[in-house]
Amino acid sequence: MLDFKGRLLGLAAERAGVKIDTPTLRDVAAAIEWRKVSLVGLDDLRVRLASRGAPGALSVQQTLDLVEAYEALKDERRAMDFEDVLLATAGMIEAEPAVAMQVREAYRHFVVDEYQDVSPAQQHLLELWLGGRHDVCVVGDASQTIYSFAGASAGYLLGFERAHPDATVVRLERNYRSSPEIVDVANRLMRGRAGALRLTAAAPDGDGTRAAPAPDVRVYPDELAEARDVATRIRNRIDAGAPAESIAVLLRVNSQSAVYEQALGEAGVPARVRGARRFFDRPEVREAVHAIRAAALAITDEPLVKSVSDVLRSLGWSLEPPAGPGAVRDRWESLNAIARLVDDQPPGTTFRVFADDLRSRAESHHEPPSRR
């Protein structure tokens, strides 16, 4: 079985005559995985690509040619990827009654966790294993579906009682992790959504003697304004005596760290990034910094915005972000963060000065102490 698709996809790209970089290659691999686990053909993939956009700089047809070349090359080498294992297992049970009988005699009861993130291919295999029986227990929360972009659907969880009319439903709605204030926000956020639970908090209000503060929800015009306000509030807390190591900023995606690192630095707040590479340690950012420094040696009289934009465009950046999540979008976010730094430069800043400032930012990204 293939450990990863990258190497074979690279060979398939050569066969199809398609030039492809590593981020785009990863996104093509994701498209292949979505097609298989969603049990759809190339025509459906074409429709999806036409509506959401093809990976990187590829056209829809180039992507389809690459997918077909990958499948043909894989068949020639008699290899399988992970999705093929699911499909082949289902195919054997469907095509061979003896295999189906053996599986159903050996395995009677099934438990499926995180059922809200089951894909059509996984659901199909589960149904084949069961063979019309109802000896199955599933655990899930439709409000926590996070893999729909990869083909998962909460519909199987929401429709479980219709598929299994005699099922016993146990609602686990007592929350042991969060304060009542947090639970109340969660309930209000999910109210009216299909399958939403009505949670109650097991923890007491606050510390038992006083209520904890309600979550403070704020709206900002852009992410830089948000980051600067967060940094200012942190600075004020530290100045009031709060230990810096008791304060954390949680980010949804790695690409958000750059603007927060910038804002915290401006506010003089020491920070440590956990669970991800620091911004200037990312390969695409290092590549951009080197390219900008090299270009600054030759470009002297062009506007700063044009100089930086030209360099970033040569690395694949564009004004408009690519559609959908994935490696190409992550790369764009990193390069776009550099493009946004131009907006914060004082009037009259030259390309050379900007390049030097960028180098200084990169070199100062050693891990600082977390205390004040």
**C-alpha torsion angle, residues 153, 254, 23, 296 (rounded to 10):** 150
d(CA 229, CA 220): 9
Q: What is the bridge-based pairing of β-strands 136-138 and 110-112?
A: parallel
Q: Per-residue pLDDT for the chain (372 aa), expressed as one digit of tens each?
A: 777 788 888 899 998 888 888 788 888 998 999 999 999 999 999 998 998 888 888 999 999 999 999 999 999 999 999 999 999 999 999 999 999 999 999 999 999 999 999 999 999 999 999 999 999 999 999 998 888 888 899 999 999 999 999 999 999 999 988 888 889 988 998 888 888 999 999 877 655 556 677 888 888 998 889 999 999 999 999 999 998 888 999 987 776 887 888 888 888 887 777 766 777 888 899 999 999 999 988 877 788 988 999 999 999 898 888 866 667 877 888 898 888 888 878 888 899 999 988 888 887 753 333 333
Over the stretch 204-259, which tens digit does the pLDDT of each residue have?
765 555 667 788 888 899 888 999 999 999 999 999 999 888 899 998 777 688 78
8 Å CB contact between 106 and 53: no
Give the DSSP letter string of 255-266.
Answer: GGHHHHHHHHHH
Report residue 12 as tokens: 């398939």
CATH architecture for segment(s) 85-163: 3-Layer(aba) Sandwich (3.40)
- Of 262, 285, 283, give the one whose Cα is nearest residue 273: 262
How is the chain split into domains, by residue range? 6-79, 85-163, 172-215, 223-266, 279-363
CB atoms within 10 A of CB 21: 14
Give the DSSP letter string of 203-217.
Answer: SPSTTSSSPPPPP--
- Of 245, 329, 341, give the one whose Cα is nearest residue 52: 329
What pTM does this model have? 0.66
Question: Which runs of consecutive H residues, i.e. helices, occur in the chain?
Answer: 6-16, 22-37, 42-52, 60-76, 82-95, 97-106, 120-130, 155-158, 160-163, 180-190, 223-239, 257-266, 283-296, 304-314, 327-341, 351-363
Q: Using a CB cutoff of 8 Å and minimum separation of 24, what contacts does 306-313 make?
A: 307/351, 307/354, 308/338, 308/339, 308/342, 308/351, 308/354, 309/339, 312/288, 312/338, 312/339
Q: Which residues contact 132 (CB under 8 A, 6 or more apart)?
A: none
Over the stretch 55-105, which tens digit does the pLDDT of each residue have?
888 999 999 999 999 999 999 999 999 999 999 999 999 999 999 999 999
